[in-house]
Amino acid sequence: MDTFIGYYLRPYRKGSKRIPVNTSKFYFFDVGVARTAARMPVPSETMTEYGKMFENYIFMELKAYIDYNMTDDELYFWRTREGYEVDFIIENKVAIEVKTSKNITKKDMKGIRAFMEENAVREYIIVCRELFERTTEDGIRIVPWKLFLDELWDDKII
């Protein structure tokens, strides 16, 4: 459901190995408006809010791409009761985890690796602030956010 203030993102429930949560996530159309209304200062890079804003930005780009191109692709998120999470799942195509880190570690990959066990999509991507793209031994693409957006809008992600 769209409220024009924000958007609900439904949980992905097609997995079979782990029990997913049933509650939706909500993303504001503009985190600046939400923060101003709440009289909150701009977060620094070390604050949790910074990561939430970065995730919101990537969500809005994915939503804009899907809407602009009028694809039938559905956008979801995946979270289990054990706490594993992947920020965005696009149909059976791609799982996308968003991290503000400039150096992705194994700890940052726990959620996406847990989702890989579901064998539900063809590509796994971590969007982050690293300077260069790389791929892990198990096939997770670690992609700088600017490159990710270029690839998205060049029709190379979906």
Token pair of 62 as six digits: 């994915």
What per-residue confidence (pLDDT) applies to 1? 47
- For residue 19, what pLDDT is reported? 63
Q: Percent of the chain having pLDDT more than 70?
A: 92
Query: 47-91: per-residue pLDDT in tens?
Result: 788 888 899 999 999 999 999 999 889 999 999 988 999 999 999
Write down the pLDDT at residue 69: 93
Kindly list the domain boundaries of the chain, sorted by start residue.
Answer: 6-153
- DSSP for residue 20: B
Query: Over the stretch 18-56, which tens digit does the pLDDT of each residue have?
Result: 666 778 888 878 877 767 777 877 777 877 888 888 999
Is there a contact between 86 and 96 (Cβ–Cβ < 8 Å)?
Answer: yes
What are the backbone dihedrals phi and psi of residue 6, each rounded to the nearest 5 degrees, phi first? -170, -175
**What is the pLDDT at residue 3?**
53
Q: What is the mean pLDDT of the chain?
A: 90
142 vs 50, which has greater pLDDT? 142
Cα(8)–Cα(102) distance, rounded to whole angstroms? 29
